[in-house]
Amino acid sequence: MAWLLAESFAELMLLPSRYVSVLGYLVKQYLFEKMELLPNTATLIAFYKRRKEEGKEEEEERLEEVEEEDEVELLAGTVEVCFNKKGVVASPPTPTPPKNSPYVSNIVVKKLLRRFRGIEWHLLKASEELILHMSSSREGYLHCRMIDTAPFNMYKKSGYDIVKIDTILVLLLLQRRKHLICKKLPVLTNFSELDTFCSQEELTP
Ligand SMILES: CC(C)(COP(=O)(O)OP(=O)(O)OC[C@H]1O[C@@H](n2cnc3c(N)ncnc32)[C@H](O)[C@@H]1OP(=O)(O)O)[C@@H](O)C(=O)NCCC(=O)NCCS
């Protein structure tokens, strides 16, 4: 998983692939630090298992670089969720979210599996569901770079609204400007409502 995150950071920072192993080492340290903060934070992992019957051709094409096996199971993506300020390792980037509110970060999907099975969307839904279980707060925050318009539109469709936008001054720090976005999560009185909330949203990814 550290490798998946490191590859994605290198991609976002436009770094050459030779930096991935150094980044991987740093990400590993970070993940060890995060483990000490459980249960104030969680890292979710998505696995992709090849379905033998359905859409075989499309899958064969995608997975041709993966070794020929009857069953393929891949680490497909990951996301981090902090439920409160005790779950935060380092201060989140600007614009800063409210200190004690649930915060979703580092959503990454393996390159090979992007735009394929809505894996980011599923990771996001799983994060929201977990927030409803683990936090009394009923909102979730996340950052999205202004240049990432496609994921941003998906967040908007999923119910996220812009709360703050980075000032142009962050460009002086050689950073991309980001939106801080927030979604009001439903107040649930029992767990069966949670199932209804999730299945209703599946209609509008
Ligand atoms: C951004 C990222 C997580 C998307 O993962 P993904 O599994 O491909 O996303 P999904 O398939 O769940 O996308 C859901 C919807 O979001 C939109 N979307 C997401 N990525 C898109 C892209 N690159 N181009 C166009 N639309 C996109 C589409 O509407 C898509 O639905 P559709 O495929 O039915 O049209 C992935 O590209 C990634 O890991 N990028 C590098 C890390 C990163 O940028 N993370 C931060 C995101 S703010």
What are the residue boundaries of the structural domains of the chain, listed by start? 1-36, 37-201
- Closest ligand 1 atom number to CA of residue 144: 48
Residue nearest to atom 4 of ligand 1 (CA): 120
Residue 155 above 80 pLDDT? yes
**Whole-number pLDDT of residue 62:** 72
Residue that the structure tokens 């999907």 belong to: 109
CATH class of the domain defined by 37-201? alpha beta
Give 111 Cα–ligand 1 centroid separation in angstroms. Answer: 10
Looking at residue 105, its pLDDT comes to 95
For residue 14, count other CB atoms closer than 10 A to its CB. Answer: 6
The alpha carbon torsion through 57, 61, 63, 69 (nearest 10 deg) reads 50
User: Residue 154 above 70 pLDDT?
Assistant: yes
What is the C-alpha radius of gyration for the chain, rounded to an integer number of angstroms? Answer: 18
44-80 tens-digit pLDDT: 999 998 766 655 666 667 776 665 555 678 899 999 9
Task: Provide the pLDDT confidence category of residue 204 given band limits of 50, 70 and 90.
Answer: very low
Which atom of ligand 1 is nearest to 108's Cα? Answer: 39
Give the confidence band of 190 by pLDDT, cuts at 50, 70, 90.
low
Q: Is the CB of 121 under 6 A from ligand 1?
A: yes
Mark 19-51 as b/e (b = at least 16 C-beta within 10 Å): ebeebbeebeeebeebeebeebbbebebebebe
The tally of CA atoms less than 13 A away on the side-chain side of residue 40 is 12
**pLDDT confidence tier of residue 196, bands split at 50, 70 and 90:** low
Active site residue 19: no
The per-residue pLDDT for 68 is 57
Stretch 24-52: mean pLDDT: 91
Phi, psi at 30, each rounded to 5°? -60, -40
Report how far residue 38's alpha carbon sits from residue 84's, in angstroms, rounded to the nearest whole number: 11
Average pLDDT over residues 110-138: 94
Percent of the chain with pLDDT over 90: 67
Tokens matching residue 92:
């989140």
Span from the CA of 98 to the centroid of ligand 1 (angstroms): 26
DSSP state of 114: T
Taking only the tens place, the pLDDT of each residue in 158-184 is 999 999 999 999 998 888 999 999 999
**Percent of residues, the chain, with pLDDT higher than 70:** 82
Over 70: is that where the pLDDT of 198 sits? Answer: no
